[in-house]
Structure 1
């Protein structure tokens, strides 16, 4: 399971704020026991290669549900009259999903689908956009997880291919197997 956060970037120079938001938007942070906003800002800046913004901008981070409650209660998220915030969203694995290998798999899937907004409503459709090359890359990075999943959930022969087809259409079979594994992983962690 992932937690979604909203980052509001305040800056007198809107170009600086928009640059920071482009870097932050849609990224993932690994699990952390420290949910302190300043720690998250530092981690985001370090991970995304954003220079320190201390003097030029400030970033305020809220969990998505807290942000929505705040907006509804106050009608406005703005705290500084002289600047308007620019918003980005990012996600962080919570302690439940910091199982190491699976969080790496989710990060890899997000990397491959980084141009898209990944959510429960569209993840299966987005997985169909992965190429056979993407599937092979995922398989090589997570073969042990995929094989464990296959042992627990399915068989290579339940994919609808005969033994002869599996040998002839190996890349297609790999794509289908990885796609089903990825769908199962994302269903549990989105």
Structure 2
């Protein structure tokens, strides 16, 4: 997952609305489109002009923060500068993993997440969220658990939990899988 700040063209009359619309959006990785093409397409689909953004106004989050801390951004609301934090589920992983990342990002979309708090945001997923992820990525999750050699004991569960059909086992396995996937992509 790569994080960016996109600055909105200050000449665009709807800069503030565009910034609010773009904020916290997670764009999927498609090898035939660049991130700026993804953003422009998204803006068009939302009824905004694609010219509101350009490659020169797209900055990796860490570079933007350094520039901001060194007062090198030149941003001012009085000059109609607006910005939005976005993420790109950029992945060179096989498609099944990229699809899993897109699903996790979909569940994270309405949260104020970043690499430092993603474990807590995934921890807040509901049982229904975890069941949905499991239903869509069952094979990958089982393969991951097998590859890691995780047993019930590693997860602090016992045979009685399985026999009682404890939903907590599913939640714990999917939580660990999703967290590992996001942190290592």
- RMSD of aligned residue pairs (Cα, Å): 2.9
- What is the deviation of 1:36? 7.1
The corresponding residue for 2:52 is: 58
TM-score by length of 1: 0.78
Counterpart selection for 2:16 from 15, 18, 30: 18
Change (3 A) 1:77 1:99: farther
- 3-state SS of 1:6 partner: strand
> What's 2:116 paired with?
121
Unaligned runs of 5+ in 1: none
TM-score (norm 2): 0.79
**CA distances 1:4-23 after superposition (whole Å, capped 9, x unpaired):** 21111235676x22322222
SS at match of 2:109: coil
Is residue 2:171 matched to residue 1:175?
yes
CA contact (8 A) 2:35 2:88 kept: no
Partner of 2:3: 4
The equivalent residue for 1:103 is: 98
Does 2:185 match 1:186? no
User: Which stretch has the larger CA shift, 155-164 or 68-77?
Assistant: 68-77
Deviations 1:118-144 (A, max 9, x none): 223212222221111111111001101
- Alignment deviations for residues 29-58 of structure 1 (CA, whole Å, 9 cap, x no partner): 223465474x24323325xx321415xx72
- On the 8 A contact 1:6/1:89 being kept in 2, the answer is yes
2:86 equivalent in structure 1: 90
Preserved CA contact (<8 Å) 1:20 1:50? no
Mapped to 2, the partners of 1:151 and 1:73 lie a distance apart of 47
Task: Indicate conservation of the 8 Å contact 2:2/2:88, yes or no.
Answer: yes
